[in-house]
Structure 1
Amino acid sequence: MKLTQLINGLKLQNSIEEDLYDLVIQGLADSSQEVEEGFVFIAIKGFKDDGHNHISHAIEKGANLVVGEQHIEDLPVPYLQVDNARIALGILAKNFYGNPASRKLMIGITGTNGKTTTSYLVKHLLEQNGISCSVMGTIQNIVNGSSIKSANTTPSSLILQKLLALSNDDAVVMEVSSHGLTQHRIEGIEFDVCLFTNLHHEHLDYHGSMDSYFEAKAVLFDHLKPDGTAIVNIDDEWGEKLDRDLLEKGKNVCSIGQLKNSRLRIQSFDMEHSTLRLDDAEETLIQSPMAGIHNLYNSLMAYATALSVGIEKKAILSTITNFPGVEGRFETSKTQSGAVVIVDYAHTPDAVYHCLTTAKEAGANRITHIFGFRGDRDSSKRREMIEITSKISDRYIITTDDLNSVPVEEMRSLYSELNDRYGNEKGFIQMDRTKAIKDAIDSSSEGDWVVITGKGHEKYSHQFEIPTESDKETVNFMVKPPKAD
């Protein structure tokens, strides 16, 4: 690709000589380690490192052009100065890969909880009705039916555009995180449908306040096509605010919820049968394939999305019931004693509350909850999570999640202090996560529930006594112990 095509739409802070327009570009890199001959190196100032410090290395590796924010002179290769290198990377990546999103049905989902389940529900409904679909999100990226490891909920703009170009699918469903939005990872992408699930305490160590967190999430809807549809859960107070803001801007909004002004208004829930009934002419009945009121909302969001892209209601209702579920999202196993074991990614107070209340509503005799907190992360939710579990659970075990370089004894001391302050006598501390799970399962009996939250599909980042790599693997080890030689 020639430079003149690559920089289309890019705002430059310095002038460029005309003879450079025909410069041939072989690729892009935002890490000097990944630069090859003929690449453009985009120098980005990160949180721990600054790409401007690696310009010389990038040139040594063959970069024939550098893009950055600093005023730099006398480089041996041309230098383009921009106001925001992250935005520039998005524009350059979109141009280099030929704007692949413009040829697809693009669906973006944001919110604190429910993004992953909703994205897989949408994928299921589309594919069951003849629309092939890629998924990009927390668990993995699925492109052309193949799984590609996911490092972030929303990939960097360079990886994202490369994945979009690789995809031969008709549609793409993306989880769009607040980090991804503030870091301009979806720069240059327009969406046909944007969804807002809910907003709860999370990532306040990064955003500082709920208002800032909301503003970050709302940026997704700036990327909605003029004729696109916003689907918003207005039973969430932040969703209600977003709904008002979008309507004031003249956006097409399909609001869902129990409020009277909802476009898709919920008339009633039947938790025993996992159904919700809409307040429409046909009193439409939606059957969720998963337990819990939170999954009824996820199902309604997916239903609204499928309607908005032209799938017939009858086809949606008939295919939503055979959804196979999502790895690490309320995955259920049963022990030999007859106890139910749940593995779920829930790591916010709201998500934990819904997990535990779902177990209680399902008739659990006794609930043992296993959870932990990540070291060096948002501490504002810790008190609330302990208060929730101490009220709902019959027993809870606080254990290791990701330490993130915090010493284990420091976390143990923190756990003890938090439980003394906000918990009660039902709480215990066991830093070995696998031993906590073993203890809970060993002491459970028929009708009891063991609810393990926080990790879901994720691999352990530490070694424990039982040599397993995830909560699911530990549960399987306990439920189906290996046969003796």
Structure 2
Amino acid sequence: MRLSKVLKALGGCIKKYQNEADFEFGGIEMDSRKVKPGDLFVAISGFQMDGHQFIDEAIDKGAAAVIGENDLDLKVPYIQVFDSRLALGRAASTFYNHPSRKHTVIGITGTNGKTTVSYILKHILETAGKSCSLLGTVSYIINDEVYKPSNTTPDALQIQELMARSNDEFVVLEVSSHALKQYRIEGLELDYGLFTNLSHDHLDYHPTIEDYFEAKTLMYNYMKPEGAAVISRLSEWGDELASLLHAKDMPVYSIGYDDCHDLKIEDIKLNGQTRFDIKLGGVLYSLTFPSPGQHNVYNAAMAFLTAVKIGIKPDVIIEALKTFPGVPGRFEMIPHPEGATFIVDYAHTEDAIEYCLHAAKEHEAVKINHIFGFRGERDKTKREHMIKTSAAMSDEFILTFDDLNGVSEEEMIKELQELNDRFGMNKGRVIADRTKAIRTAWETAKKGEWVLITGKGPEEYQSMYELPTTSDKGTLQYLQKMQNKQQVIG
């Protein structure tokens, strides 16, 4: 691609252009280690590393031109921009020939539910005979190939490359607030923008909940001219977003409990199986969904309304919902030989934990035990609320390690003890080793008890623990295996 074409796409991003030239370049890189002769290198000021420090290395490796923010004098064409992240998104979209235009793209944002809604939508579309890529927290799935994710939302360069590689008709994309603030979806064009909810999270990154909400609204700046919003108006944040988008004359479709919504949720039954009715276009539909919990009613309703707007027939959607296989690490059930139920879930906010614990109560758990922890160097303001919720809704809980992220074990243990002493209502204890915490619950579990292990979901452990396992599910499977061996020996 000719450099002049990228320059045109950058437009007002450009602050100054030194050593002007026009030529064909072969690729775009933001990692100097990956630069090949003839590439365009984009220097990004990251949170841990500053790409400007590696410009000389990139040039030595053959970078033909550089984009960056600092005022520099280089021996190759240098485009100084106001924001390198913004420039990267526009340059990558141009280089890959605006790949989102060849797909129907569904962006999903919100604090909770993004992953589950994305998997439900993928399942509905594939049941209807459509092909669908998925980019999200659990995995990136492109042309039926599964890749381990680097972030909930890929960086701007990776996301354009994945979109270009996809031959699928649809692409479903989880869009985090971090991604929106960092212009990771710059250059994308969305057909549908879904908003699930907003609750207390990421206030280590966002100064206020209002700033967090404002970041979520940025997704709607990337809609195609005919694009539409699908919003859960089960909270005041959904109402506020709907008002903002109505003011911009964007089509808005909503779910809620009132007749004014495009999809009205009615008659939820959660005793052992998730059943509920919806009213859509004056027609009443009865739905059965395998995933437990009221929050999954909302997730299924969001997917249902979106699929209808895409053009999928309601009877196809109803059948697809019946056979939904679930999401790895999202309310994933592991049976216990004594008749207890163990749950692995990604829940890491007050609301998400409440959803999980409430689902256990709905299924008439005779006792609820909750195992969870906190990530080091992350939003500390939500920890008190998470413990208060668990203390109020569990019979007992265990505080344990999550990802330490550089925080010392001693410091994290001290904080867990202090939080438990202040807010635990004498129901909690601290077992720092996550695998020992899970083993303790496994060895004492009785029939009818529910044990919820939250915070990690399908993610692998970052720390070494006593048991030779790498995830919460892996720990439970190891304990199952060891117990089966003992029974055979006995």
Q: What range describes the TM-score normalised by the shorter chain of this pair?
A: over 0.9
For residues 403 and 470 of structure 2, what CA distance do their matches in structure 1 show? Answer: 13
What is the alpha-carbon distance in structure 2 between the residues aligned to residue 279 and residue 80 of structure 1? 54
Q: Report the secondary structure of 1:400's partner residue.
A: coil
After superposition, the C-alpha distances for 1:84-106 in whole angstroms (9 at most, x for unaligned) are 11111011111111111110010
Structure 1 residue 469 displacement after superposition: 0.5
Describe the SS at the equivalent of 1:13.
strand
Query: 2:85 maps to what in 1?
Result: 86
Contact 1:234 1:259 in 2 (8 A): no
Q: Deviations over 1:438-471 (max 9, x none)?
A: 1111111111111100000000111111110000
For 1:455 and 1:393, the matched residues in 2 are separated by 19
CA distance in 1 between counterparts of 2:340 and 2:270 reads: 21
Q: Match for residue 213 of structure 1?
A: 212
Q: 1:194 is matched with which residue?
A: 193
Indicate the SS of the match to 1:356.
Answer: helix
Cα distance, 1:7 vs structure 2: 2.8
Distance 2:323 2:371 in 1: 30
| Partner Cα separation in structure 1 for residue 447 and residue 378 of structure 2 | 37
One-letter code of the match for 1:317?
A: I
Matching residue of 1:42: 42
Note the C-alpha offset of 1:223. 1.0
Partner of 1:176: 175
Worse overlay, 419-428 or 210-219? 419-428
Which residue in 2 is equivalent to 1:59? 59
User: CA 1:7 to 1:415, structure 2 compared with 1: closer, same or farther past 3 Å?
Assistant: same
Residue-by-residue CA offset, 1:24-60 (whole Å, 9 max, x unaligned): 1011111211211001111111222222222111111
- Is the 1:286–1:300 Cα contact (8 Å) retained in structure 2? no
Deviations 1:341-377 (A, max 9, x none): 1000001000000101100110101111000011111
- d(CA) in 1 for partners of 2:480 and 2:369? 16
RMSD of aligned Cα (Å): 1.4
1:120 aligns with 2:105: no
Aligned residue in 2 for 1:167: 166
Tell me how many residue pairs correspond in the alignment. Answer: 482
Alignment-derived partner of residue 230 in structure 1: 229
Query: Is 1:203 aligned to residue 205 of structure 2?
Result: no
Superposition pairs for residues 6-405 of structure 1, below 5 Å?
A: 6-11=6-11, 12-15=14-17, 20-21=21-22, 23-73=23-73, 75-272=74-271, 273-280=273-280, 281-405=282-406
Letter in 2 for 1:25: F
The question of whether the paired residues in 2 share the 8 Å contact of 1:143 and 1:166 is answered with: yes
Once the two structures are overlaid, the 10-residue window that deviates more, 106-115 or 235-244, is: 235-244
Matched residues in 2 for 1:213 and 1:260: separation? 29
Is 2:19–2:77's contact at 8 Å kept on the other side of the alignment?
no
Q: Deviations over 1:151-197 (max 9, x none)?
A: 10000010111111111111100000000000001111111111000
Q: Structure 2: how far apart are the matches of 1:289 and 1:300?
A: 14
SS for the counterpart of 1:36 is: coil
Name the residue aligned to 1:455.
456
| Stretch deviating more after TM superposition (129-138 or 7-16) | 7-16
CA–CA distance in structure 1, aligned partners of residues 296 and 340 of structure 2: 22
State whether residues 135 and 172 of structure 1, in contact with CA within 8 Å, keep that contact through their aligned partners in structure 2.
Answer: yes
What letter matches 1:360 in structure 2?
K
Classify the secondary structure of the residue corresponding to 2:157.
helix
Normalised by the length of structure 2, the TM-score is: 0.96
- Report the Cα distance in structure 1 between the residues aligned to 2:236 and 2:384, rounded to whole angstroms: 22
CA distance in 1, matches of 2:105, 2:279: 29
8 Å CA contact retained: 1:229, 1:251: yes
Find the aligned partners of 1:334 and 1:161 in 2 and give their Cα distance. Answer: 41
Letter aligned with residue 129 of structure 1: A
**Contact 1:340-1:449 within 8 A present in 2 as well:** yes
Following TM superposition, by how much is the alpha carbon of 1:83 offset from its aligned partner in structure 2, in angstroms? 1.5
Give 2:6's aligned amino acid. L
| Equivalent AA in structure 2 for residue 54 of structure 1 | F
- Is 1:8–1:95's contact at 8 Å kept on the other side of the alignment? no
Q: Which residue of 2 aligns with 1:2?
A: 2
Structure 1 residues 17 and 419: alpha-carbon distance in aligned structure 2, compared to 1, 3 A threshold:
closer
Q: Is the 8 A contact 2:105 2:192 kept in 1?
A: yes
Separation of aligned partners in 2, 1:52 and 1:186: 22
Q: What is the Cα deviation at residue 17 of structure 1?
A: 7.0
Measure, in 1, the Cα distance between the counterparts of 2:317 and 2:180: 30
**Which amino acid letter does the alignment assign opposite residue 14 of structure 1?**
K
- Which letter does structure 2 place at the counterpart of 1:60? D
Other structure's SS at 1:33 match:
helix
Task: Give the drift of 1:147.
Answer: 0.6
The letter of the residue matching 1:97 is: Y
2:2–2:24 CA contact under 8 A, matched in 1: yes
Q: Which amino acid aligns with 1:133?
A: C
**Cα deviation per residue 1:118-145 (whole Å; 9 max; x = unaligned)?**
0000000011111100000101100010
2: CA distance between counterparts of 1:406 and 1:52?
28
2: CA distance between counterparts of 1:375 and 1:329?
Answer: 22
TM-score (norm. length: structure 1): 0.97
Distance 2:467 2:5 in 1: 55
Runs of 4 or more above 3 Å deviation:
15-18, 482-485
The alpha-carbon deviation at position 260 of structure 1 amounts to 4.2
1:413 and 1:16 map into 2 onto residues whose CA distance is 54
1:277 offset after TM fit, Å?
Answer: 1.4
Equivalent AA in structure 2 for residue 13 of structure 1: K
Match of 2:465 in 1: 464
Compute the displacement of 1:149 (Å).
1.2
Structure 1: runs of 5+ lacking an equivalent: none
Deviates more, 1:221-230 or 1:122-131: 221-230
Helix, strand or coil for the counterpart of 1:451? strand
Q: Deviations over 1:281-325 (max 9, x none)?
A: 322222222100000100011101111111111111111110111
Cα distance between partner residues in 2 of 1:79 and 1:250 = 40
For the 8 Å contact 2:17–2:77, the answer to whether it is kept is no
Taking only the aligned residue pairs, the percentage that are identical comes to: 46
Any idea what SS the aligned residue of 1:158 has? Answer: helix
- Residues of 2 paired with 1:149 and 1:410: CA distance? 31
**Which ranges in structure 2 are unaligned for 5 or more consecutive residues?**
none
Q: Secondary structure at the match of 2:49?
A: coil
Structure 1: distance between partners of 2:29 and 2:278:
49
CA distance in 1, matches of 2:485, 2:27: 52
Query: Is the partner of 1:279 in helix, strand or coil?
Result: strand
- SS of corresponding position for 1:386: helix
